[in-house]
Amino acid sequence: MAKEVRSIVITGNGTNCEMEMAHACRLAGSDVVDIVHISDILWGEKRLEDYHFLNLPGGFLDGDDLGSAKAGANRFLHARIRGTGRPLFEQVIHFVEQGKLILGVCNGFQLMVKLGLLPAVDGDYGRQTLTLTFNDSGRFEDRWVHMIADPESPCVFTRGLGGLYLPVRHGEGKVVAAHEGLLKRLHEGRQAVLRYSTPDYSSPTMDYPLNPNGSVDAIAGICDRTGRLFGLMPHPEAYLHATNHPRWTRENLPEEGMGLSLFRNAVEFIRNELL
C-alpha cells in the first residue's frame, strides 16, 4: 500500500450521514476517502483491508426496526462475501487485529456496541456486553450537548481534547451495562472516554437535558482497550464549520468546528503509527 491515509465510509440500508462523515475525513487530511455501499463489500468489489480508517456513520440501519442497529449487526455477523463465502464480520475482526481505526457515530456506535466491538473490555471482540437503548425521555431528540473527554483515556480520537459541544440526534442513546462489574472495568480501563457534562465542562451530569438520554454515568462515548475503536452518540461530523453551531450568529467562534478534531487525531495517528 502506498503511503497514503485511506478512509472508508460505509453506507447502505438506512445509513444517512455518509456525506458529512466523508467530508470530515477529507478535511482532516485523509488522502483517500471512499463512500462505499455495503453491497460493494458483500459482492467482493471492495475490501476493508485496503483501508486504515473505517467510518460507521449515523442513520437508521434497517429502520432500527428490531432495536437500534440490531438488524444491521445481524447483517455484519451473518452476511457472506460473494466468491469467498466468508462472513463479513471476519473482515472487521481482521481490520481490528491489524490495529486500524474504527469510528462509529450514533447508529454506527450502536452497531459497534451490538456487534460487541465496544467496549470489549477483555479484548473479546464480538461479544455484546453493553447496550444503547431508548432515551429516558422516550423520544428522539435533536439537541446540542456538552461533553468532557477523559485525558487519561487510551482513545486516539480524543487526544488533547478537553470539552466538546456537539449535537445528539437519537432516540436510543442511553448506555446500559449488563452488570455493575462491567462498568467498573470500563472506568478502570479509562474506556468511558466522553461524558455528558455541565455547560462549563466542569463535571459529568445526569440532569436532563444536559444528559439527553439518561445514560449511565453520563457516558456519551466509549473506546476499546486499545483506544483505536471508538464510538459516540453525538455527531462530530455535524460540527465541521462555525456555521453549524446553533449560536454562531451571536458568539465569536473559530471557523473550524469542534467535531473535526476527532478526525484530525485519527488521520494523524494513522500517518504516524500505521503508515
The footprint of other proteins (CB under 8 A) covers: 11-17, 19-20, 23, 37, 39-40, 43, 58-60, 62-67, 70-71, 73-75, 77-80, 114, 128-131, 133-144, 167, 169, 176-178, 235, 237-238, 240, 242-244, 246-247, 249-250
Smallest distance from the beta carbon of 142 to other proteins, in angstroms?
5
Smallest distance from the beta carbon of 275 to other proteins, in angstroms?
26
State the virtual CA torsion across 192, 177, 106, 236 in degrees, nearest 10.
-10
Smallest distance from the beta carbon of 211 to other proteins, in angstroms?
14
Report the distance separating Cα 31 and Cα 95, nearest Å: 19
25 counts as catalytic: no
CA 180 to chain centre: 23
Residues in contact with 126: Cβ distance below 8 Å, sequence separation at least 6, in sequence order: 89, 93, 115, 116, 117
Smallest distance from the beta carbon of 92 to other proteins, in angstroms?
16
Q: Considering the complex, state which of residue 178 and residue 275 has its C-beta at the smaller distance from other proteins.
A: 178
Smallest distance from the beta carbon of 95 to other proteins, in angstroms?
21
**Residue 270 amino acid letter:** I
Report the distance separating Cα 104 and Cα 13, nearest Å: 16
What are the phi and psi torsion angles at 163 (to 5°)?
-100, 160
What are the Cα distances from residue 49, in Å, to 37, 99, 103, 139, 196? Answer: 16, 11, 16, 38, 34
Q: Considering the complex, state which of residue 71 and residue 274 has its C-beta at the smaller distance from other proteins.
A: 71
Hey, what's the cell of 16?
Answer: 444517512
Report the distance separating Cα 189 and Cα 130, nearest Å: 15
53 and 6 Cβ atoms separated by less than 8 Å: yes
DSSP class of residue 274 equals I
Pick the catalytic residue: 17, 106, 155, 223?
106
235 counts as catalytic: yes
Q: Considering the complex, state which of residue 156 and residue 258 has its C-beta at the smaller distance from other proteins.
A: 258
Q: Which residues belong to the active site?
A: 106, 235, 237
